[in-house]
Amino acid sequence: MSDAPEPTIYEQVGGHDFFTSLVAEFYRGVASDPVLLPMYPHNELEAASERLQMFLEQYWGGPGTYGERRGHPRLRMRHAPFPVDEVARDHWLALMRGALDAQHLSPELDETLWKYFVMAAMSMVNTDNPAMRDLPQS
């Protein structure tokens, strides 16, 4: 019987390089998405990409850089200023599904990550009014 700990999801998927590729692919889609792109302040995609990558790496067992730089994730609080309806959620999920597919994970790892992404996206919905997306962000 081995005393070695089970490898983390972070390690199983390939660590930093995997998350770099996943997040880059996701944000390539965001850059041209008519629903999601307007939610990002001007010139914020690079910073948002870095934050998402740090968060995902930490969440899945990698370095704790996100927590060190930004504290507790508080995802709902951090997303509260942005009107996220079901349409935005579905756009986010479609882009993340494409980014995840591009990584060619084993079915088991893919399912593990995908279940998390669906749960997270569902929990970010904070309005049922699609017209709210057209309001200026403060």
User: Which secondary-structure segment (H or E) carries 105?
Assistant: none
pLDDT of residue 138: 38
Contact partners, residue 42, CB within 8 Å, separation at least 6: none
Give the list of residues 6+ apart from residue 116 with CB closer than 8 angstroms, or none.
59
Instruction: List the domain boundaries for the chain.
Output: 10-134
Residue 137 has a pLDDT of 45
- Note whether 83 and 132 are within 8 A (CB): yes
From first to last of its 138 residues, what are the pLDDT tens digits of the chain? Answer: 567 889 999 999 999 999 999 999 999 999 999 999 998 887 889 999 999 999 999 999 999 988 777 777 666 666 667 788 999 999 999 999 999 999 999 999 999 999 999 999 999 998 876 554 454 443
Which pLDDT belongs to residue 136? Answer: 46
Q: Which CATH number fits domain 10-134: 1.20.120.790, 3.30.450.20, 3.40.640.10, 1.10.490.10?
A: 1.10.490.10
pTM: 0.85
